[in-house]
A and B are shown apart, each in its own frame.
Chain A
Amino acid sequence: MIRAVSRRMFGTLPTLVGISLATFVILNLSLPPSSDPRNLSVADPALIYSAHLPLFLNLYVEDARTASAAALSRLSSDSDAEAQLAIGDIRDMGGAWLPHLLPALATLEEPTKHRLLQALEPVASRIAQGIGLASAADKVAFWTRYQATYGSDYQQVRVARLVQRLVRRVDSLATEELRRLDTYALPQLFEALSEDIDGEAQDRLAALIGTLLGKDMRLSPRQSAAQRLDELSRWDHWWQVRRERYRTLSTVERGFSTLTQTRYFCWLTHLATLDFGMSERDGISIRSKLASRLPVTLALSGLALLLAYGLAVPLGIVAAVRRGSAFDRLSLAGSLVLYAIPAFWTAILLLYLFSDSGLLPMAPTYGTSTPGSEALGSAARLKDFAHHLFLPVLCLAVVPMAALARYQRAGMLQVIDRDFMRTARAKGLSPTQAILRHGLRNSLIPVVTLLGVEIPYLVSGSVVVERIFGIAGMGLETFEAVRAFDRPWLIAVVSVTALLTLLGDVIADLLYAQVDPRIAPGGRSGQ
C-alpha cells in the first residue's frame, strides 16, 4: 500500500512541475517590467518574486568578484560621472571587495589608480589602519603590505568561526577582527542573525552590522518583541536585495547559482513554502489568509461532496433496479435538468424558497454564524454553523449529484445482469441483499472515478456560492481579490487550488484501486 501511494505521488512530479510552470507564466504576466529592486517597497510582488532576475538561466551570476571587476572597469572609464559612481560603490562595499581589488592595484594605470586609492580611503579609516598617509606611493605600499599581512584572513571559514564566537558570548577580540574584515563578514553576520539565537546575541550582531555599514541599526532591549521582529525583517529585506554583491562564490557555487539565482527558482521556493507575500488589498500575509479561508471552503466542498454521493448513489441504484419505471424516467429527466442549472441560479432559487421572505423559511441565508453565537457552547455553535451551511452545501451539491446519479445508474445497469448477480440470487439472497453485497461495490467504479472531476468543480463553484451566501472562504476572498486586482492572492489561489486538485486526483486514484481489485496497486491501466 505504501509503495502504491509513494509511486502514485512520484507520478505526479511532472504534473507538479507543469503546474509550477503554468503559474509561473501567470506570475510573470502580473509582474511589472523589472526595475531596480533597491527602490521597491518590502511588500511589492516584484521584489518578493525577484522580478529583476532572469527567468530560467542566470548566465551573469553576480557576486563580489564580478561586481568588483565591473566597478573597476567603470572606474577606468573616461566619463567622470561614471567614475564617481564607481568610487561611491567601492567605498560602500569596502571589505567585501578588497580581496578582488587589491591584487589589481599594482597593475592599474594612473587615473584609475588614483581614483581607486581615493575610494579606498574611507575603507581604510573604517578598518582603522593606514590613516593619514599622504602620497600615492605610500598608500599603494600600505595596501600591498595590508594584503600581504591580512590577505589570508579573508576566508569564509575563518569568518564563520569568528561569528560563532560572537554569538556565543561577548568577545571583543572577535569583534575587533570582524571589524577589520569590514563588510566581508556581512553574509555570515546576517545569516547568523536570521537563525534562532537569543536576544543578547542578536544585539551584539546588530551593533556590529550597524558599525560596519555606518548606519544606526541598533536593536534596543527596550523594544517590544514585535518591534524587534519588525526591525529584523526590515534588515532582512535590505540584505535580500543586496546580498549577492557581498558574497564571493566558489566555482561550484557559481555553477549552482546560474540555476538558483533565477526568477523560476525563486518562485519554486515560494511555492514549496506556500509563501506568497502580502495581499495588495489589505496588507495581510497571504499565508495567514489561506490558513483562515481554506478550511471553510474545504468544509463546504467536503460536505457538498458527501451530500452528493449520499444522495446520488441510492438514487442511481434504485433507478437502475427499477429500470424503465416512472421513478427511473423521472430521476433521469430530473438529473438532466439539474445538471443544466448553473450554481448561481440554484442559489437564487434556493434563496427564493428558503429565505425569510420565501415560501419555506427554514434556513439562514447569509454568513456562517448567527451574530452573538460566540457566547454559546461549542455544541450549540456547531449546530448554528451546520444550520448556516445547509443552503450553500445543498446548492453546491446539486450539479455533482445529478451527474453522479446518472453514472451510478449506468454503473449499476452494467452489473445487474451479470452472472455473479444471478449466482447470488440463486444461492438464496434476496434482491436487496444481492445488490448491496455483490452489486454495490462493482457498480461504484465509475462514480469513484468521477471524484477527481468533482473536486475542481466544487472548488470552482465555491466562488459563486460563497459570494451569494456571504461565506468567508477562498471563493469570496477571490471574488474580492479580482475586484481589487489583488495579484498576490490570485496567484496564490490559482496555485493552491491546482495543488489541491492534484491531491484529490491522487486520492481518487487510490480509492479506485480499493474499489476495483483488478487494478494493480499503483498501476495505471485497468483490467
Chain B
Amino acid sequence: MSILRPSLIPLRLVRRRPSSRRGSFFSRAGRRFIAKRLNRFCLWFVGGLCAVALAADLLASDQPIACRVGTETFILPGLWSHASLSGQNNDDILDAIAIHGGWAWLPLVPHGPNKVRDIVGVERLATPSAKHVLGTDDSGRDVLARLIHGTRTMIAVAFGSTALYLAVAILLGAVAGYFGGLVDRVTLRLIETFSAFPTFFLILGIQGVIGVTSLWQLVLVIGLTRWTDLARVTRGEVLRLMHEDYVFAAQALGMSPRRVLWRHIMPGAVGPVLVAANFGAASAILIESTLSFLGFGVPSTSPSFGQLITDAFYGGGNPLLLLLPGSLLVATVLCIHLLGDGLRDAVEGS
C-alpha cells in the first residue's frame, strides 16, 4: 500500500484541469442547468408553489396575521391558539376591533380552508365575488383558500415521500451494488417483488386493510411502495462506478466500505439518482391527487387538489373550480418533468 501512495498523489496534483472543466461537477452541472430559460421558468414555478405552500397560513387563514384587539396584541393567532381568540374568524375579530379599538393585518384571503362557522349564513356553491374570489364549494368553504392549502398538501407529499424513498432506495441500492453477491441477489429479488405490485392497488390494499387516516401516513405508504425504480438506478450507478480507478485506489488505500461508498462512489451517482427522484416526486403527486380524487387520500381537513377536483366534478357548480385545480396540478407535474429532463441534460453534460 505504501508503494501505491507516492505514484498516485503526484499524478493528481500535476495534471492541470482544462479551463472549460473549471469548478466542481455540481457547479458545472448547475451552470448548464441554469443556462436554459425553460429550466429557469420551471424552477421559478415550482419554487413559487413551495413558497405558497410554506406561507399558506399567511396567505389564507380565518384569523389575522397580526392584530390588536383593545389592549392585547396577537401575532399569528391562527398558528398559536389564544384562548381569547379561539373560535373567532376574521369577521368576528374585525367586529371586536370596531367595538374595542385596535388594528388587524388580515391575510390576502381572509378565509380558512376548512372552517365554516355560522351555519346560518353559509353560502354554498357561491359564485366568485369580492368576498370569495373563487366562490365556495358545496359546504361553503372558500375555494381559493382550499387551493392555497392544497398546494401545501401537494408539496408535502412530493417532498416527504420522495425523501423517504430516496433514503430507502439509496441505502438498499448502494449496499447491493457495492457488496454484490448474496446481498445483491436478495435486494434484486426484493426490488422485483415490490415492482410486481401495481402501486395503486398496493396502496389501496394497504389503505383498506390498515386504514390510512393522516397526511403523514399517506406519505409513508407512498414512500415505502415507490422506492424500487430508484433503488435499481442507484444500484446500476454504483456498479458502474465500482470499476473506476479512483474507487480501486480508495479501496487499495484501505478505506472502509462505508467511506468508499459515501465519499467516493455516491457523489458520482448522485446525478442520475436525482433525476429519477425528480420523476418520482411527480408520480407521488399524481398518486396523492388520484387517491384524493377517489376519496381515499388525505382527510378533508387538509385539502388537496384531487379533493377539490372531485368536489367540483361530483358537486356541480362553476366549471372554473374544476379547471383551475386541474390545470394547476397538470402544470406542476409538467414542470417537474421538465425539470427532470433539464437536470438529466445538465448532469450528462450533453
Contact = CB atoms under 8 A, between A and B. Distances in A.
Contacts of B194: 22
Interface in A412-437: none
Given A344-B309, A482-B296, A15 B334 contact: no
Contacts of B289: 342, 344
A92 B330 CA distance: 69
Given A482-B208, A491-B209, A493-B205, A344 B198 contact: no
Contact of A498 (B198, B206, B296, B319): B198
Interface stretch (B19-27, B94-102, B126-134, B185-193): B185-193
Interface string A341-361: 111110010001000000000
A463 interface: yes
B208 A487 contact: yes
Contact of A22 (B193, B286, B290, B333): B193
Contact of B196 (A482, A483, A501): A501
Given A342-B290, A348-B326, A493-B201, A336 B334 contact: yes
Interface in B299-350: 306, 309, 313, 319, 322, 326, 329-330, 333-334, 337-338
Interface residues of A, number: 46
B224 to A, nearest CB: 11
Contact of A478 (B192, B204, B290, B333): B204
A99 B90 CA distance: 84
Given A15-B189, A18-B190, A482-B204, A336 B329 contact: no
A188 interface: no
Nearest to B326: A345
Nearest to B319: A352
A328 interface: no
B210 interface: yes
B214 to A, nearest CB: 16
Interface centre among B189, B293, B326, B338 (most CB of A within 10 A): B293
B282 interface: yes
A123 interface: no
Contact of A487 (B209, B309, B326): B209
B206 A26 contact: yes
Contacts, number: 125
B200 interface: yes
Nearest to B322: A348
A457 interface: yes
B206 A18 contact: no
B30 interface: no
B211 interface: yes
Interface in B268-314: 282, 286, 289-290, 293-296, 306, 309, 313
Contacts of B208: 481-482, 485-487, 490
Nearest to B327: A345
Interface centre among B199, B290, B295, B322 (most CB of A within 10 A): B290
Contacts of B326: 345, 348
A337 B197 contact: no
B330 A345 contact: yes
A460 interface: yes
Contacts of B192: 14-15, 18
A134 B39 CA distance: 100
Nearest to A501: B196
A502 interface: yes
A463 B196 contact: no
Interface in A252-300: none
A344 B296 CA distance: 14
A358 to B, nearest CB: 12
Interface of B: 189-190, 192-202, 204-211, 282, 286, 289-290, 293-296, 306, 309, 313, 319, 322, 326, 329-330, 333-334, 337-338
9 contacts: A15-B196, A339-B337, A348-B322, A460-B198, A478-B201, A478-B204, A482-B204, A483-B295, A494-B205
Given A29-B209, A339-B337, A501-B196, 12 more contacts: A18-B196, A26-B206, A30-B209, A30-B210, A336-B334, A341-B330, A344-B294, A348-B326, A463-B204, A464-B294, A482-B207, A498-B197
Closest CB pairs A-B (n = 9) = A18-B193, A460-B200, A494-B205, A456-B198, A340-B334, A340-B333, A30-B209, A482-B208, A490-B208
